[in-house]
Amino acid sequence: MVILVKFGIISDTHVEETWDPKKIDNFISVLGKYLSNVDEIIHAGDVVSEIFLKRLKEIAPVHCVASNTDKIKGLPKEKLLEVEGQRIGIIHEVPINELDQYIESRNLNILITGHTHIPSIKGLESKCMILNPGSIAYPRAPPKKPGFQEPVAKPTLIILNIENGLASAYLISLPFKKKK
């Protein structure tokens, strides 16, 4: 029997309650197209407003953590999930100087973060996968690497599949224009 759990991962949406409702509708409409077939959404912080969080829940159930700018009361600073034998940690900002200890103390297979607005999918020697979906509202480009073209900042999200205990993730570039 095949067991597949699919997560849509976003972060750093920074949707303010003062935004034009049509703009929020547009965000939800586009996200709905890409996340309509996920089991759950994971938001790695900087959701900022309760309005946007409620709208996300119209698409799928949402796991969300607090960040340095969130104005929503009651969000946890971190969240731990166990799915098909995979231990998933969700936190807004990576504890850079204590990353190995953080992962080891929670026995994580997957760590989902935000904060940088730069999308990344990395594997560590500890066999932990670190996912950062970037930002749909204020994306930043990854650092330039020698021999490659200048990277472009694009709105992104990540899809995480856990199938029969095995995790795979991929990045999706979204059709939003970068905010100036």
Q: How many helices (H) and strands (E) does the chain have?
A: 3, 10
Which domains are present in the chain? 4-157 (3.60.21.10)
What are the pLDDT tens digits along the chain (180 aa)? 778 899 999 999 999 989 999 999 999 999 999 999 999 999 999 999 999 999 999 999 999 999 988 888 999 999 999 999 999 999 999 887 899 899 999 999 999 999 999 999 998 887 899 999 999 999 999 999 999 999 999 999 999 999 999 999 999 999 876 554
CB atoms within 10 A of CB 121: 15
Residue that the structure tokens 């929503």 belong to: 72
Q: Which residues pair with 124 in a beta bridge?
A: none
Residue 137 sits at φ, ψ, to 5 deg, of: -100, -40
